[in-house]
A = this chain, B = another copy of it.
Amino acid sequence: MVFSSKLLETAVNEVSRLPGIGRKSALRMVLHLLRQPVSDTFNLTEALTKLRNDIKYCRTCFNISDDDKCSICTSMRRDQGMICAVEDLRDVMAIEKTSQYNGLYHVIGGLISPIDGIGPSDLNVESLITRVRNTGADEVILALSPTMEGDTTALYIRKRLKETGVKVTTISRGIPIGGELEYADEITLGRSILTRISAD
């Protein structure tokens, strides 16, 4: 891109560093800001700065929070005996959206991936073991992605949790609701037959 303004070039460079944003989209976004009132740019930069400087992570579950303890952990309406282990806060949001779960969470913060140099000590696994032991939780639900990294991490957590004696479950895998059989991949379809459930 040929810029007639250094200010514009710097702004486009910075915006295009964001994930999924190419230089053309970055330019479009920046030009949009120039056409809008100054207050729009101010509100945007203010929100990002405040978030980056003031954000906290819940001391119990490591979910993003405005305080030392998140609103889920401090809620009296939540089942304190159930902990759902997820990779990151987007999974918390996805599960919360279903309105089907009323327990607590534990944000693992990633998945074991030797290629990326991520081992168990980089994740919030130790704190999960300690938490289960201290709170005497009844059940830990593993809700990790069904990928190699997810399965490896789930296996590791299961092993570590064994010593605590807590019940460990995993979210069910199978054909998505509304999905057509013929379009399902064979591994999912195969697994869904092996792990079939009673039709009663």
Identify the A interface with B (CB < 8 A).
1-8, 10-11, 13-15, 17-21, 25, 27-34, 38, 40-45, 47-55, 58, 63-66, 70-72, 88-90, 92-93, 96-97
Contacts and interface: CB of A to CB of B under 8 A. Distances in A.
Most buried by B among A11, A29, A96: A11
A33 B52 contact: yes
A49 B45 contact: yes
Identical copies of this chain, number: 2
A64 B47 CA distance: 27
A87 to B, nearest CB: 12
Given A25-B20, A28-B20, A63 B97 contact: no
B4 A65 contact: yes
A interface, by DSSP: helix, strand, loop or mixed?
helix
Contact of A21 (B29, B40, B54, B65): B29
Given A17-B40, A40-B17, A93-B1, A33 B7 contact: no
Q: Which 10 residue pairs across A and B have the least CB separation, nearest first? A: A45-B45, A41-B52, A2-B96, A11-B51, A14-B47, A11-B47, A14-B44, A7-B51, A18-B29, A10-B47
A47 B6 CA distance: 10
A41 B41 CA distance: 14
A195 to B, nearest CB: 29
